[in-house]
Structure 1
Amino acid sequence: MKLQHPIFHVLVLMASMASLPTLAEDSPHTLTANVGLTSNYVFRGISQTGGKPAIQGGFDYTHASGLYLGTWGSNVSWLTEFQGYTSGSMELDLYGGYRNTIGPISYDVGAIRYMYPGSKKDSVVGAWTSEIYGSVGWKWFTAKYSHYVSDSVFGVGPNTNGSYYLDISGSLPVADTGLALGAHWGTFNFKNDDQFIAAYGVSPDYKDWKVSATYDLGKLAKRASGMTLGVAYSDTNAEKAFWTNTGTSNTGEYLGKAATTAWISKTF
């Protein structure tokens, strides 16, 4: 049976959100859903859709103790355009962890599995990736360390387990306007990158940065709406010789180039 396009599954997700169970106000359990449309799915500085739009959505469960579980999905194009998959156009994430505060300090520890259904030849490195992470935050600032425990990291492999990504970010609300300004810097370091230097003449390691602004549309309606508008400008120093689409589609798109992205999202 032919698999339906991932956008179909996201539309089913959107329809199902209307029937989310209503929990009592004093319940320790919280269940939320989210859906969004973005002009370009950029993850850690690298476009996952080759500069094209994406429909995204997910569910989150949180317990009052701080435990949480969630799932999230999006359409992607890099599996065939970059990785060399013969088919595959969806990302599905499963994650869980624990978050809490100690005085003014917040912290979050957890794990996430990035899954990419699709077909590939045996010679193509698989894209599925496992990550454990920990973060600490103070007021508007957050530092997060992500450590990879799978054999390959988003298809960059083999033998790249032990790679890591370090993310430092800040988000500053502008008074009570509903506007928030953000900034981010990150560095991706791949283990055993000498194998890629031998093959491509460059390392896949890179740094990325971003500035952003978001606006709570509920401020216009003067009530909680769960809708957010956002815009961001991002860039990297990722090497073109490595981070350019050369897969089955051969689009020649440089995935680490500077990008301006706009999105709208809704939380239920």
Structure 2
Amino acid sequence: MQKTLIAAALASALAVPAFSVHAEEPASPHTFTGNVGLFSQYVFRGISQTNEDMALQGGFDYSHASGFYVGTWASNISWLKDAGAYDSSSLEVDLYGGFRGSITDAVSFDVGLLQYYYPGDKVAGAVSPNTTEIYGAVGWQWLSAKLSYSLTDTFGVDDASGTWYLDLSANYPITEALTLNLHYGMQEFSGRSTACVGITGSTKNDSCASYEDWKIGLSYALQQGFTVGAFYTDTSMNRDEKAFYTNLSGKYLGDGQTVVFLSKTF
């Protein structure tokens, strides 16, 4: 009996605590995500970029726990070739980076730099559409406001540095899976060039290139990172602005459009 008690005491003293074997590793500060989507067309700031044809889009993002992030995103396009600015062009590539965080538990912020790049064979004399923007955004619960400011010629419009775009959005959760998506935007071009002369007789870029746009839609979160949705988008352009955003085949690209999509994050 004494031997049994001594053996039990030794076994208890030498036992290794369970928590030392199964201790959890610290969470990584690095996060990598990706996204891909199939859209009935690509609409950017109220303007069709694919001549109302389908678009395949996707990108990759890296973020650090400190708040810094970088990423890239791409989509097929046709608007540069359709406008006669490129002999061949079918791709938009965006490169961006910035810093985001929280001001309070309910208020967030995001600041960064974004480069729009359009590879292809540009027509001689055409203004480069490559555009560099800085941006700042604030968010409160499901509301957000974002201001983008161009540092270069803007989307092929000469002397357009200082052009800005204001994005006011609301993504209201109706249910856990269903979200109402609302958007209102203001695109205000700056500078003077010959871009509008043939349309309005004015050299002011904003006389024919500036406009407002809006969007309303629904998105539904499926399993395994899939989302399906649809939205309607339109612009408030006058006659001169409609002429500016009409391509060589006579199609007005700022008309009211319905877009359906299927996307996945991973």
Q: Secondary structure at the match of 1:240?
A: helix
1:96-111 maps to which residues of 2 (within 5 A)? 96-103=97-104, 104-111=106-113
Q: CA deviation at 1:174?
A: 1.1
Instruction: Give the count of matched residue pairs.
Output: 232
Instruction: Please name the residue that 2:141 is paired with.
Output: 139
Q: Is the 8 A contact 1:72 1:94 kept in 2?
A: yes
Does the aligned pair in 2 maintain the 1:194–1:203 contact within 8 Å?
no
Name the CA shift for 1:267/1:261 in 2 (closer, same or farther; >3 Å). same
CA contact (8 A) 1:193 1:203 kept: no
Counterpart Cα distance in 2 of 1:83 and 1:106 = 42
Query: Post-superposition shift, 1:82?
Result: 1.7
CA deviation after TM superposition for structure 1 residue 173, in Å: 0.3
Q: Does the 8 A contact of 2:159 with 2:193 survive in 1?
A: no
Letter in 2 for 1:267: T
Could you tell me which of 251, 254, 262 is aligned with 1:253? 251
Whole-Å separation in 2 of the counterparts to 1:25 and 1:97 = 25
Q: CA RMSD in A?
A: 1.4
Q: Deviations over 1:118-171 (max 9, x none)?
A: 112231111111000000011111000000001x11112x11000000011101
Q: TM-score, normalised by structure 1?
A: 0.84
Tell me, in whole angstroms, the C-alpha distance in 1 between the residues paired with 2:182 and 2:84: 30
Consecutive unaligned residues of structure 2, counting only runs of 5 or more, are 1-24, 201-206
TM-score (norm: length of structure 2): 0.84
- 1:59-118 CA-to-partner distances (Å, cap 9, x unmatched) read 000111111100011100011002521111000110000110111210000011000001
2:32 maps to a residue whose letter is: L
Amino acid at match of 2:182: A
Structure 1: runs of 5 or more not aligned: 1-23, 219-224
Alignment of 1:192-203 (within 5 A): 192=191, 195-201=194-200, 202-203=207-208
Could you tell me whether the CA contact under 8 Å between 2:159 and 2:192 is conserved in 1?
no
Q: Report the counterpart of residue 47 of structure 1 in structure 2.
A: 48
- Residue aligning to 1:112: 114
Q: Which residue pairs with 2:162 in the alignment?
A: 162
Offset at residue 203 of structure 1 (A): 1.4
